[in-house]
Every structure is written in structure tokens, then in C-alpha cells.
Amino acid sequence: MTPLGARIAALIETSGPISVSDYMALCLFDPEHGYYTTREPFGEAGDFTTAPEISQMFGELVAVWCYRAWTAMGAPLPVTLAEIGPGRGTLMRDMLRTLSQIDSSLVASADIALVEASPRLADVQRLTLGPFAGRVTWHAEAGGLKSGQPLIVVANELFDALPIRQFVKAGGEWRERAIVLDEDGGLAFAAGLSRPDASLLPPDAAAAPEGAVVELAPARSAMMASLAQRLAEDGGAGLFIDYGYLEPRTGDTLQALRRHAFDDVLAAPGEADLTAHVDFAALSQIAGSAGLTTETMRQGDFLLGMGLLERAGRLGASMDDAGREQISAAVERLAAPDQMGDLFKVMAVGQPGMSLFPFERNVP
Ligand code: SAH
């Protein structure tokens, strides 16, 4: 068992079962042994590779989206340009490089802010950003972002890392899934005592069989609600990219990733990444009830709509065959339906009535 696993087992032994959301929070953010607080998750040598780490084109196209959103708002200054959960800082680095080329006055005058819960990753971001780091402020929570001025905010693979609650159907009833100790002192799942609010369950929950799992994500809802409130009050727009589904449904999506392979969720607390698929309908509903315009589409459609193929062509024009091959492999990986193109979704939110390119192409 990992050191964190031993601590969790001792905690359960003395204070009783813990919820899936407490387990996730401990595994990801325990100050001493948490995954994001202590490990290097990203890239070939890590556990998973995210879109900005696959190709600079991802950050370039997100930058163009932000620029279009800013001009659609009337190019207000001052403005805050923020990213939440920046990982190694690659997305913001590529965005700032691109935005400087499009309109250097925006990068020169915007308040550029990174929201990062892990102090260790904030240090990595400082290094990645290089000369741009002097323009950036860091915040431990999104609530720390400057208010009273418009906000353009992006987040890639943030919501999947926020703790979820799970409920399991046991004896015909939904009960909160808990983590207990098995006979050998190892970690195991069990049906706990608390019950979910029935109004929050997806439509297919009533007919779900024994053992089925439903997920609710209050931490995600709270993050979305506070961002939506900020955007409604101060104006602005947001782009949230993650893997997940568009219609609410039952199903266990909690997963552990270690060295680019799936692992048992309870096998290596603190040493594997834990994530769950994002319910985009829930997020969109929260943004909508704050009065914001919201649109969601598949990542592949979003990137193609933003000009991925044209950008790949231009980037490849000055390269040799090997370079061009790398670029077309990146296009495939980011946008092909059987790779990240369909599983990943992009949700854009904006102040009421705002046109959210390229999403308006969806509107008949
Ligand atoms: N966006 C990056 C990293 C994704 S991993 C990329 O695409 O490569 C998730 C990131 O979110 C990590 O940086 C993690 O430390 C951060 N994170 C998780 N929960 C957070 C929270 N509540 N507030 C801010 N950052 C958080």
C-alpha cells in the first residue's frame, strides 16, 4: 500500500468509512502525499498527456477564441485573462505567444491570472511561462480573481479533477458509495448510509439495475456557479474543455490513470491520477440559470471550426517531412472522433446575447 493508502486505512479504522469525494480530495491534494501536490503527472514520462501538451496548435486556437470573444465584447480594458488548473502552464504560454502576435496591446494591458491549487505546479508554470511569467499573478482559488472588470477564463481538464460523490443502487435504493476496509485491511467500496436528493438523479436512474452507480459533483457545480456569477456581474466569457457527456446518465466513470494505463481506483492512493467524466448538461444548466449564453460541442468540431486544418497546413509548410508527419499525427489525436475529438467536449459561456464563434454555426 502507498503511504497515503496506509493513512487513509488508519483514518477509516478510527473514524469510519469515507466518501468517494473525500477519497478523491485526499488522493489528489493531500499536502504531503497528494497526486497533484507531489507528482509530475504530464507527458511521456508522467501518467497522461493533455491537449496543450500534444501540440502548440491547441493553445493557439484557444487564444484566437479568446481574442474573438474579447472583440465581440467590444474589446474592453481593463480585462482579466485567466486560466484555472494550468498544469505545466503550456496552454497559457502558447496563448500569450499567440495573443502577442495578434494584438500586443491586449497582452500588455490585460491582468493575466493563473488559478492553481498545487504550489508545486505553480512553480512549474512559472518556469514554463519564461519571459511572460512577470506579467502573471497566481491565485490558489478562483475567488481570488480580481472582480469589477470583465473576465475571459479558460480551463482544460479542470472539472474532471474536481472530487465527485457517487451513489450506488443497493437493495433497490440509492446509497452514497463509501470506502471501507475489507477483511485484510485493504480499501474496498461499499454502500454507505446517506441518500441522494432524488431530484438530482438522471432520468435513467429509476430503471437502473442493482449495483448501478450515479455521480453528482457538487464541487464542480460550486466552481461553475461562482464563475458564472462573476461573468454575469462583470461581463466576459469562458471556455471549458474536458472529457464528458452531454446528456445526464447513470454510470461509474471514476478512473485512475498511471503511466498512460488505467489502474484500479483504490490501488495506489496519491500515486495515480483520479478523474471522472464531466456532466456538461449540469454545468450548462448552472451557467444558464446565472443568465449566461452557453453552447457545447465536441472538441473535434470546435478545433476544426477554429481552423485547425488551416493552422496545421501553415505550420507544416516550413517543415520537413518528419515535422509535417508530427503535425498531422497531432491533428488526428486532437480531433479524430476515435481519439480525443468526440470524447472531449468544449463548453463556451458568455454574457447574455453574446455570439460564441464557432458555436453559432450550430444554430439553424
Ligand atoms: N490544464 C492542464 C492541466 C490539467 S490537470 C492541461 O491541460 O495540461 C488539472 C489541473 O487542475 C492541475 O493543474 C491541478 O493542480 C489543477 N486543479 C485541480 N483542482 C483545482 C482547483 N480546485 N483549483 C485550481 N486548480 C485546480
Which grid cell sits at 263?
489502474
User: Could you tell me the distance, in angstroms and rounded to a whole number, from the CA of residue 303 to the centre of ligand 1?
Assistant: 21
* Beta strand segments in the chain, E: 18-19, 80-84, 111-115, 136-139, 151-156, 165-170, 173-181, 187-191, 213-216, 236-245, 255-258, 261-263, 273-275, 278-279, 293-298, 344-350
332 pLDDT exceeds 90?
Answer: yes
Global pTM exceeds 0.75: yes
Measured distance CA(162)–CA(221) in Å, rounded: 10
- Confirm if 48 and 257 have CB atoms less than 8 A apart: yes
pLDDT of 359 reads 85
Q: Is 168 helix (H, G, I), strand (E, B) or coil?
A: strand
pLDDT higher than 50, residue 363? no
* Predicted pLDDT at 364: 41
Report whether residue 59 contacts ligand 1, using a CB cutoff of 6 Å.
Answer: no
3-state DSSP call for residue 312? helix
Q: What is the pLDDT of residues 175-214, one digit of tens each?
A: 999 999 999 999 999 999 999 999 999 999 999 999 999 9
What is the grid cell recorded at 297? Answer: 460541442
pLDDT, tens digit, for every residue of 67-99? 999 999 999 999 999 999 999 999 999 999 999
Instruction: Return the C-alpha cell found at 143.
Output: 475567488
Which amino acid would we find at residue 29? Answer: F
Report pLDDT digits (tens) over 196-206. 999 999 999 99
Ligand 1: which of 26, 36, 243 to mutate, judged by most atoms within 8 Å of the beta carbon?
A: 36
* Confidence (pLDDT) at 361: 52
Residue type, 124: V
18: left (phi > 0), else alpha (psi -120 to 50), else beta?
beta
Mutate to test the pocket of ligand 1, among 116, 124, 156 (most ligand atoms within 8 A of CB): 116
